[in-house]
């Protein structure tokens, strides 16, 4: 469905994807902070799905991978705003 949407709307709308990427250490720290007990195979599947989605968007619009490991929320917001041209 997503691919069909992109095909039908890419000429009328700007399609953008911001793919936030963290190292395993950063992701583990965030999970530990939340007290998460997510299944490792589920997490790997979500990471693959997000990576593949970002690649698909590149065919119809713009996509950026932002490494989140050492950035503050304000820095991330600034980088996203810059990417979007705001």
CB atoms within 10 A of CB 47: 14
Mean pLDDT for each 10-residue chunk of the chain (86 residues)?
Answer: 85 92 92 91 94 92 94 95 92
Tell me the C-alpha distance between 86 and 83, whole Å. 8
pLDDT of residue 2: 82
70 neighbors 22 (Cβ within 8 angstroms): no
Phi, psi for 17 (deg, rounded to 5): -135, 130
Tell me what pLDDT residue 17 has.
Answer: 95
* pTM score over 0.75: yes
Report pLDDT for 48: 95
What does the pLDDT read at residue 32?
93
- State the pLDDT at residue 1: 80
């Amino acid at each position: 469905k997503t691919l069909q949407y992109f095909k039908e709307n890419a000429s009328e709308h700007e399609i953008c994807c911001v793919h936030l990427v963290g190292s395993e250490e950063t992701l583990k720290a965030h999970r530990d902070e939340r007290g998460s007990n997510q299944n490792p195979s589920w997490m790997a599947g979500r990471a693959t799905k997000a990576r593949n989605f970002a690649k698909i968007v590149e065919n119809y619009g713009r996509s950026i991978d932002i490494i989140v490991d050492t950035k503050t929320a304000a820095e991330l917001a600034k980088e996203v705003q810059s990417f979007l041209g705001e």
